[in-house]
Structure 1
Amino acid sequence: MGLATMIIISLQTPAALADSIQTPEMTVVPAGWFWQGSDAIERDYAYRIDEQIYGQDVAHRNRWYDSEITKWRIYLPQFEISTTPVTNAQYAAFVKDAGYPAPGVTKEIWDTYGLVHGFEATRPFTWKKGLPPSGRENHPVVLVSWQDAVAYTHWLSEKTGDSWRLPNEAEWEKAVRGPDGTFYPWGNIYDPTLLNSADRGPFDTMPVKSFPAGPYGLFDGAGQVFEWTMTQQQPGARIVKGGSWDDRGCGVCRPAARHSRPEHLRHILIGFRVLRVSSQDK
């Protein structure tokens, strides 16, 4: 081995490898106070827009939004969070390098979930030979469980030398919503032109950054895909946030909205974004 080769190898520190593994683009959320959760006024608005769209009060009767955190002001230190949900291309680097199973689910497992979507709905999102479906490289990755998302963060930590994890619910909500407690990233009035939801279509994931950014510069925090968080609702279940391309209304697309899903679930509506832990938080 020549000296030049040895020098090149010696320079391949974890940090130097970051670009080669498609490290997610990051956004800094500054330290400070923000309004988390919802009050009766916001929840009533969510129920009313859902009823207007669906022509029934099923959301209100089932008290979908009553479990939201009561609105309060909370301080968070500065943190970095990925600007978009993790994409198929970014996740593919993990699958290739780590030999990790590609996103997918069998019909037998899917049928045990008891979801409204039939197994055929998963086919457009299923990877083949370790590669994402053609043309979807810049779409959010889906069909990943909470454990899969955590495995990706562990891999990023190993490859970059930084510490990575999923955001907790408060971090996710501040990053998407901003400090002022608005119902949506853009304000208090629902606007279906500002997100990927079933109000306008295409009834599918879309390339990230297809809609305007939120208060801190994050994209796709409302609609597009639900996102896993670190926050545990109950043993074996984690909070997901953000709503999806399959939702109308869109009360569930508000950053304050929350519900849990089993950690093992691989769903066509759920992806994730990541947080890089600062040195003082390690």
Structure 2
Amino acid sequence: MKKQQSHMIGGLFAAVLATMSLPGSVRAQSADVPYADVAEIPAGWFFQGSDAVERQYAYQIDEQVYGHDISRRNRWYDVEVDKWHIYLPDYFIMKTPVTNDQYAAFVRDTGREAPDISEEDWESLGLIYGYDATRPFAWQNGEPPRGKGNHPVVLVSWRDAQDYAAWLSSKTGIKWRIPEEIYWEKAVRGADGIFYPWGNIYDPLQLNSADRGPFDTVPVGQFEPGPYGLYDGAGQVFEWTATSLQAGYRIVKGGSWDDRGCGVCRPAARHGRPEHMQHILIGFRLMHE
């Protein structure tokens, strides 16, 4: 049944579901359903989290690149799940983060505000970037930034991602959701607990990070896929998960185009961000069972 469903997603999204719309009584005009390529993650055991060896490696590469030990002094990686072996059922997850073009179908169909943020709201977040840094990622007149249709959508909150999942579910009849941290991590790193999707040694040629540039998002799927065929699981943009660290906060994973090193780009790395946050470094992908 799962195999048949996988074929349906690839085939019907492209051929049939792309013409579906919400009922006329709900929407006067409805956008096409965005195509979403998915990977099937097989049922089985996998290693989640990190041990002392992996964390030490992450601190060391951060120190080598940045020339300071802030991540170690602040114990950034000590909050990671202690490495353990856990069994998960099979499931499906998008091979890439949701793109601007895919999100645009949601915006057009629902009349939702396009990804953007006011200067006041941005400054209230207390981030190191000035407001000018957000402008290349902000949408104009409800349309994505020119030339970035196939880039990951950013400036979307966790709540925006949830609403997108609900909308896509209603359009396709498939129950999409933001993945919990553990489902995201297995899909990105595979079953064997390797440090990165490609192995245990950091390689700046394998991801979009600040080690090589271009210091911006790039089209999805430009680098080699991970063990289960997922792209951009390390670098590119952090991704929202459904897992909460505390009330009002959700774990983000994966690192971004702005990170060097890249200890934070390991699938085991984690930190919390407010659900309402709209950030130029955070996007999302969805899963279903």
TM-score normalised by structure 1 residue count: 0.92
The residue aligned with 1:37 is 49
Stretches of 4+ aligned residues off by more than 3 angstroms: none
Give, in whole Å, the separation in 1 of the partners of 2:187 and 2:60: 26
Give, in whole Å, the separation in 1 of the partners of 2:72 and 2:244: 24
- The secondary structure found in structure 2 opposite 1:159 is helix
Query: 1:89-118 CA deviation, whole Å, 9 max, x = no partner?
Result: 000000001111100100000000000011
Code of the aligned partner of 2:240? W
Query: 1:159-191 CA deviation, whole Å, 9 max, x = no partner?
Result: 111111000000000000000000000000000
The residue aligned with 2:17 is 17
Query: 1:52-103 CA deviation, whole Å, 9 max, x = no partner?
Result: 0001111100100000000000100000000000000000000001111100
Residue 228 (structure 1) aligned to one of 240, 255, 258: 240
CA contact (8 A) 1:225 1:270 kept: yes
Instruction: Report the more deviating stretch, 196-205 or 16-25.
Output: 16-25
1:76 is aligned to 2:76: no
Q: How does 1:64-213 map to 2 (within 5 A)?
A: 64-213=76-225
Code of the aligned partner of 1:231? T
Give, in whole Å, the separation in 2 of the partners of 1:18 and 1:263: 30
Give, in whole Å, the separation in 1 of the partners of 2:275 and 2:100: 20
Give, in whole Å, the separation in 1 of the partners of 2:17 and 2:224: 31
- The secondary structure found in structure 1 opposite 2:151 is coil
Q: How does 1:27-66 map to 2 (within 5 A)?
A: 27-66=39-78
State the 1:24 CA deviation.
Answer: 1.4
The residue aligned with 2:6 is none
Identity fraction in percent: 66
The residue aligned with 1:260 is 272
Code of the aligned partner of 2:215? F
Query: 1:2-34 CA deviation, whole Å, 9 max, x = no partner?
Result: xxxxxxxxxx9xx94346311311111110000
* CA shift in 2, pair 1:234/1:18, >3 Å: farther
Which blocks of at least 5 consecutive residues in structure 1 are unaligned?
Answer: 1-11
* CA shift in 2, pair 1:77/1:18, >3 Å: farther
Residue 219 (structure 1) aligned to one of 231, 236, 241: 231
- The secondary structure found in structure 1 opposite 2:241 is strand
Count of aligned positions:
265
CA contact (8 A) 1:18 1:160 kept: no
Give, in whole Å, the separation in 2 of the partners of 1:27 and 1:17: 18
Give, in whole Å, the separation in 1 of the partners of 2:237 and 2:202: 17
- The secondary structure found in structure 2 opposite 1:234 is coil
State the 1:201 CA deviation.
Answer: 0.3
- The secondary structure found in structure 2 opposite 1:163 is coil
Give, in whole Å, the separation in 1 of the partners of 2:163 and 2:36: 15
Give, in whole Å, the separation in 1 of the partners of 2:16 and 2:222: 30
- The secondary structure found in structure 1 opposite 2:245 is strand
TM-score normalised by structure 2 residue count: 0.90
State the 1:139 CA deviation.
Answer: 0.1
CA contact (8 A) 1:195 1:222 kept: yes
Which blocks of at least 5 consecutive residues in structure 2 are unaligned?
Answer: 1-11, 20-31
Give, in whole Å, the separation in 2 of the partners of 1:82 and 1:269: 19
